[in-house]
Structure 1
Amino acid sequence: MTLNLSTTLRTLAAASATALLLTPLGAAAEEPELHLLFVQGSKSMQADTEEMTLRLVGVTGQTVYFSDRPQRVAGVVETTKFVEHWGTGDDSFATNPPNATIAVYDEAAEKNRAAVIVLTDPVLDGADLVYSYQLLGGEMPAEGGATGLFIDTFGPGGGVGATYHGAGVGARGPGAAGWAGVAVRDCAADDDC
């Protein structure tokens, strides 16, 4: 079942309000936090380790997002919108850059190469997505084949999207809003997840 994110959020808000009204006085209603993570894929990658730039060559047109249990929310947002909303909100990814892990396929290597980085300043350049980065761990390859970029979580007031914010790298708050037209699959309401 694919739903519009704003419709899903209105439904969740109504359900939360109903639960609050039905909660006995003095009892705390506990709402689970929604933490979204992102995945971007590309045909290959190139990194300038002196300029500290990462180029996802032939990046996919969709950025996948998903949440951890118990919500099990998943969907896609257009990569162009992901980049456009990078700086939206008081505590956005522009203000509070996310950690990410890059995993790069190398046919000649025994295993994929990976590095942990902090991402900043995304720019779409034709079919490529270019980030500035700071290396936190591992070794950034200069180039490689098929690439997956796994981006840290965010929540309301920052991150990517209107009214999202982050509470710190790796500990961002619950999600509360999104982009128009984003498909969301709520596995809690759809048993075939």
Structure 2
Amino acid sequence: MRRPFRFLALAVFVGPSALPVHAEEDGPNLFFFVDQAQMATMADGELVLEGMDAHLLAVPDRPMREAHVISVEDFLDQWSQGSDSFAHVPPNAVISGVWEDVPSALVVELTTPEVEGTGLRFRYEVLEGEPVRELREVTLVIDARPCPPEICNPQVTDVR
């Protein structure tokens, strides 16, 4: 049974120490993007997430207290938008899950996302950790960047 966002606490705890996430005083608000999948396979620099949720959670850096649910389609449409896009500056990400009944996590750089059935395919480079062939109960936390208002709309309930 999947436990929604059970690794989110790990990502939020590890993320700030691993990734620069603070916006300048008058700069845009930055968001981490979180999704889950039933399984991930990793081989030859290719990460395939299978059985993904159709929506990602966009979680801002402090001091903001809100959360947005956005479609994978909208997220991918924004991948190459702007000079600071993920296509120009590939994001770091934490991928965590269970391998041989042992929790596992690694930090990767992601490029070239492609929808594949109910999942996603990325090219990746390992930045920290030991890659494994397969993970179950996967959580993917993607680096912080601005989330356009047309995707992260202000109508979401504040979680204070």
Question: Structure 1 residue 144 and structure 2 residue 135: aligned?
Answer: yes
CA RMSD across the alignment: 2.1
**Other-structure match for 2:3:** none
Once the 2 structures are TM-superposed, how far is the Cα of residue 68 of structure 1 from its aligned partner? 2.2
Q: How many pairs align?
A: 136
CA separation of 1:182/1:44 partners in 2, compared to 1, >3 Å: closer, same or farther? farther
Partner SS state of residue 64, structure 2: coil
Among 119, 124, 131, the residue aligned to 1:133: 124
Normalised by the size of structure 1, how large is the TM-score? Answer: 0.64
**Other-structure match for 1:66:** 59
- Contact 2:68–2:156 (8 Å) recurs in 1: yes
- Contact 1:71–1:186 (8 Å) recurs in 2: no
Percent identity (aligned):
29
User: Which deviations, in whole Å up to 9, do the C-alpha atoms of 1:24-50 show, x marking residues without a partner?
Assistant: xxxxxx6575221110110111111x2
User: Matched residues in 2 for 1:186 and 1:32: separation?
Assistant: 23
Question: Structure 1 residue 86 and structure 2 residue 57: aligned?
Answer: no
Partner SS state of residue 156, structure 2: strand
Question: Structure 1 residue 37 and structure 2 residue 32: aligned?
Answer: yes
**Other-structure match for 2:145:** 154
- Contact 1:76–1:184 (8 Å) recurs in 2: no
User: Matched residues in 2 for 1:68 and 1:78: separation?
Assistant: 20
Partner SS state of residue 112, structure 1: strand
**Other-structure match for 1:113:** 104
Partner SS state of residue 45, structure 1: strand
| Structure 2 residues without counterparts, runs of 5 or longer | 1-24
User: Which deviations, in whole Å up to 9, do the C-alpha atoms of 1:105-158 show, x marking residues without a partner?
Assistant: 23x33x311110001010001111001001101011111211001111012xxx
Correspondences of 1:18-57 after superposition (within 5 Å): 31=26, 34-48=29-43, 50=44, 52-57=45-50
User: Which deviations, in whole Å up to 9, do the C-alpha atoms of 1:161-187 show, x marking residues without a partner?
Assistant: xxxxxxxxxxxxxx5x33358575352
Question: Structure 1 residue 179 and structure 2 residue 136: aligned?
Answer: no
Choose 1 or 2 for highest CA Rg: 1
| Structure 1 residues without counterparts, runs of 5 or longer | 1-29, 156-174
Partner SS state of residue 62, structure 2: coil
User: Matched residues in 1 for 2:71 and 2:30: separation?
Assistant: 19
